[in-house]
């Protein structure tokens, strides 16, 4: 067996078979590719095909080589053609190079001259560019010159302002030329531009004047062109001022006409109605005129602002001067009508209402234009006249009060003249409260108005009560002063006068309280005792030994005083019941009772004092001061 295996391994065929069997075709890519190529033409696995396989493979290889050789031949032919073309191009380039070298040698002078001419051309072009820039900056275009000249009275367009701005720019730029070596050109150009400016400003001034003269309507429209013209004219202050004067004159005429129309004709179609239809009502008449003036001034201010909206150098003072000039024309017709109303003496209340309206509108309009403007001064003058007439009316009323003194009525109430005066004062102060003038001015007016009426009124009351006895006079004055206080109490800025009146009331209350206390003492029987006690006070004598203070007199007086204590209301003076307010009546009663209690305590202390030697004191004065106070209060 071993020998058989060895002989088998030495057999070449056996080795090949083993090698073939051991080969893994999936890892041998070349073998796989060869088999794939073989499968394309080896389709019949027969004995004859296997025997002719080598020959077929060689034929196939030969055909492939022949195909490659044919393709390579075509490539070679094309490369030979390209090579021939390149050699021909090389010969042409060599020939052209030699010819160019020959031409360059022949045209070197021409190239030099051409280079020189090109440099000169560049310099000329640069000069032309500079000249064009100089002309563009320092000369006007034909259309700009035509826009500035135009027709003498022709309209002003947007191109005119653009050309004018261009002229001013050139004129300013000439100042730069004067700092260089081009001074002659700068002076010539500046002179030419100055001529253009003067003619342009003259044309602009005439056009602006014509436009301003046409602004005579109620509410004219200020065009943007006119506004720009006013801005341009600011460079010529004199022309600018003349143009503003022309505008002010035109608007002054228009405002006066509109004011007269508002007074006599009313608005368009009769609405609103003419102001003079209300001349029978002074407050409305004057108020409507002032309201119209205020609205007209506000409209004129807005119109002027529209005219000068682009002007930077016109300050508030200039505008206020123009507004003052515009509104000056209405001063006379307004003043005449207001004076007629004031001097017709419509009454103190009406005069004061007029003064308040004039004061309010004078302040309001003064803030719109100027306090020194003619219309403001006129309104404030009318306010001063109205106040003067008003205070004259108050003084006349006060004089009439003192000329004819009215006697106090039987019930000691305020007289009819006092009530009428208080009604007048109430109407005036009510009118003042409804006004819109500043508080400090109102406070000063209050003090003066109240002094004009209250001081003469107090004097009249004193003179009227001069023939009365002390009780009647005190009650009458208290009632009158209370009436005045009640009127003033509902208004502001009257504290000072109310305090002064309260002091006077207190003085008259003291008088009435003293009279009431004396009345009670005299009617209750203890008055005589107190009189004797006061007369002999300080003497070292027993009171029981004095006439009128003896025990029997004391006993009789205390018995009578007990009757008063049982019915305190029986001893009230009629004057106390005639006081107008319960508060004052209660005050008089309380303080009189306090005085009586004080006097009783003084007598009681004197009687119970052992030094006065009264027998059986408890029988003489059975009630203590505390008991008396408790009964009376």
The three-state secondary structure class of 621 is coil
pLDDT(1) > 50: no
Q: Calculate ∠ Cα 350-352-353, nearest 5°.
A: 65
Count CB atoms within 10 A of the CB of residue 546.
Answer: 16
CA distance to 283, 428, 439, per residue, from 434 (Å): 13, 10, 12
What is the fold, at CATH topology level, of the domain defined by 515-632?
A: Monooxygenase (1.20.1280)
Task: At 392, list the tokens.
Answer: 């004259």
Q: What's residue 2's pLDDT?
A: 46
Tell me which range, 158-172, 283-297, 308-322, 550-564, is most confidently predicted by mean pLDDT: 283-297
Q: Give the distance, in angstroms, between the CA of residue 397 and the centroid of all CA atoms in the same chain.
A: 45
Q: Are 287 and 208 in contact (CB under 8 A)?
A: no
Q: pLDDT: is 548 or 379 the higher one?
A: 379
Q: Is 474 exposed, middle or buried (0-12, 13-18, 19+ CB in 10 A)?
A: buried
DSSP state of 46: -
How large a percentage of the chain has pLDDT more than 90?
A: 13
Question: Which residue, 173, 232, 228, is CA-closest to 197?
Answer: 232
Q: pLDDT: is 222 or 21 the higher one?
A: 222
Average pLDDT over residues 9-38: 74
Q: What's residue 153's pLDDT?
A: 62
Q: What's residue 348's pLDDT?
A: 87
Average pLDDT over residues 368-373: 85
pLDDT(5) > 60: no
Count CB atoms within 10 A of the CB of residue 579.
Answer: 23
Q: Which of 276-285, 306-315, 529-538 has the lowest mean pLDDT?
A: 306-315
- Peptide bond just before 460 cis, omega within 30 deg: no
Q: Are 598 and 530 in contact (CB under 8 A)?
A: no
Q: Each residue of 127-154: pLDDT tens digit?
A: 777 766 766 666 777 777 776 776 556 6
Task: At 339, list the tokens.
Answer: 């004076």
Average pLDDT over residues 64-85: 90
Distance CA 84, CA 78 (A): 10
Q: Each residue of 502-530: pLDDT tens digit?
A: 898 889 889 888 888 888 888 777 777 88
Q: What's residue 7's pLDDT?
A: 55
User: What HEC string does 113-141 produce?
Assistant: HHHHHHHHHHHHHHHHHHHHHHHHHHCCC
Backbone angles phi, psi at 173, to 5 degrees: -65, -25
pLDDT(434) > 70: no
Q: Each residue of 195-251: pLDDT tens digit?
A: 777 888 888 888 888 888 888 887 788 888 888 888 888 888 888 888 899 999 999
Q: What's residue 185's pLDDT?
A: 66
Average pLDDT over residues 19-40: 73
Q: What's residue 24's pLDDT?
A: 67
**Count, residues in the chain:** 633
DSSP state of 413: P
Could you give the residue ranges of the DSSP H alpha helices within 266-415? 282-307, 316-327, 331-343, 348-368, 374-403
Count CB atoms within 10 A of the CB of residue 617.
Answer: 16
User: What HEC string does 217-280 produce?
Assistant: CCCCCCCHHHHHHHHHHCCCHHHHHHHHHHHHHHHHHHHHHHHHHHHHCCCHHHCCCCHHHHCC
pLDDT(413) > 50: yes
Q: What's residue 135's pLDDT?
A: 64
Distance CA 110, CA 101 (A): 15
Its pTM surpasses 0.85: no
Task: At 137, list the tokens.
Answer: 């900056």
């Amino acid at each position: 067996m071993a020998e058989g295996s060895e002989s088998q391994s030495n057999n070449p065929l056996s080795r090949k078979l083993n090698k073939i069997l051991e080969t893994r075709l999936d890892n041998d890519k070349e073998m796989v590719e060869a088999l794939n190529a073989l499968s394309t033409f080896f389709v019949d696995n027969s004995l004859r095909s296997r025997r002719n396989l080598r020959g077929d493979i060689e034929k196939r290889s030969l055909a492939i080589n022949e195909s490659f050789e044919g393709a390579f031949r075509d490539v070679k032919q094309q490369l030979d053609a390209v090579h021939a073309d390149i050699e021909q191009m090389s010969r042409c380039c060599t020939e052209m190079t030699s010819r160019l070298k020959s031409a360059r040698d022949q045209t070197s002078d021409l190239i030099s001259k051409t280079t020189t001419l090109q440099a000169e051309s560049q310099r000329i072009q640069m000069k032309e560019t500079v000249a064009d820039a100089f002309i563009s900056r320092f000369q006007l275009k034909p259309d700009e010159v035509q826009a500035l000249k135009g027709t003498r009275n022709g309209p002003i367009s947007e191109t005119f302002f653009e050309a004018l701005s261009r002229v001013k720019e050139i004129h300013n730029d000439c100042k730069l030329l004067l700092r260089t070596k081009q001074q002659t050109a700068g002076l010539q150009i500046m002179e030419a531009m100055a001529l253009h400016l003067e003619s342009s400003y003259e044309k602009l001034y005439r056009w602006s004047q014509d436009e301003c003269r046409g602004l005579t309507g109620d509410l004219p429209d200020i065009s943007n062109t006119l506004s720009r013209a006013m801005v341009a004219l600011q460079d010529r202050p004199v022309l600018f001022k003349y143009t503003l004067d022309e505008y002010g004159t035109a608007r002054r005429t228009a405002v006066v006409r509109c004011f007269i129309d508002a007074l006599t004709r009313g608005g368009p179609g009769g609405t609103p109605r003419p102001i003079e239809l209300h001349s029978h009502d002074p407050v409305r008449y004057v108020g409507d005129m002032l309201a119209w003036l205020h609205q007209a001034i506000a409209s004129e201010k807005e119109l002027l602002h529209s005219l000068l909206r682009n002007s930077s150098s016109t300050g508030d003072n200039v505008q206020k001067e123009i507004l003052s000039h515009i509104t000056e024309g209405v001063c006379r017709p307004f003043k005449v009508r207001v004076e007629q109303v004031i001097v017709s003496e419509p009454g103190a209340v009406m005069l004061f209402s007029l003064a308040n309206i004039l004061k309010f509108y004078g302040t309001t309009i003064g803030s719109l234009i100027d306090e020194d403007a003619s219309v403001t001064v006129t309104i404030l003058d009318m306010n001063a006249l109205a106040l003067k007439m008003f205070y004259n009316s108050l003084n006349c009323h006060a004089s009439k009060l003192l000329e004819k003194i009215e006697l106090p009525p039987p019930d000691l109430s305020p007289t009819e003249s006092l009530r009428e005066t208080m009604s007048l004062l109430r109407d005036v102060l009510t009118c003042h409260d409804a006004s819109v003038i500043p508080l400090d001015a109102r406070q000063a007016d209050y003090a003066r108005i109240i002094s004009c009426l209250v001081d003469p009124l107090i004097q009249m009351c004193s003179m009227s009560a001069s023939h009365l006895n002390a009780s009647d006079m005190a009650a009458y004055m208290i009632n009158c002063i209370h009436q005045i206080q009640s009127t003033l109490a509902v208004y502001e800025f009257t504290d000072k006068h109310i305090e002064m009146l309260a002091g006077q009331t207190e003085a008259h209350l003291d008088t009435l309280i003293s009279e009431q206390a004396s009345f009670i003492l005299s009617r209750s029987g203890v008055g005589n005792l107190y009189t004797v006690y006061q007369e002999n006070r300080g003497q070292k004598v027993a009171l029981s030994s004095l006439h009128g203070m003896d025990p029997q007199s004391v006993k009789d007086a205390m018995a009578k005083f007990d009757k008063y204590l049982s019915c305190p209301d029986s001893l009230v003076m009629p004057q106390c019941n005639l006081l107008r307010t319960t508060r004052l009546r209660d005050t008089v009663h309380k303080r009189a009772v306090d005085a009586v209690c004080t006097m009783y305590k003084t007598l009681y202390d004197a009687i119970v004092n052992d030094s006065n030697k009264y027998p059986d004191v408890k029988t003489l004065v059975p009630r203590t001061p505390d008991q008396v106070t408790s009964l009376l209060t």
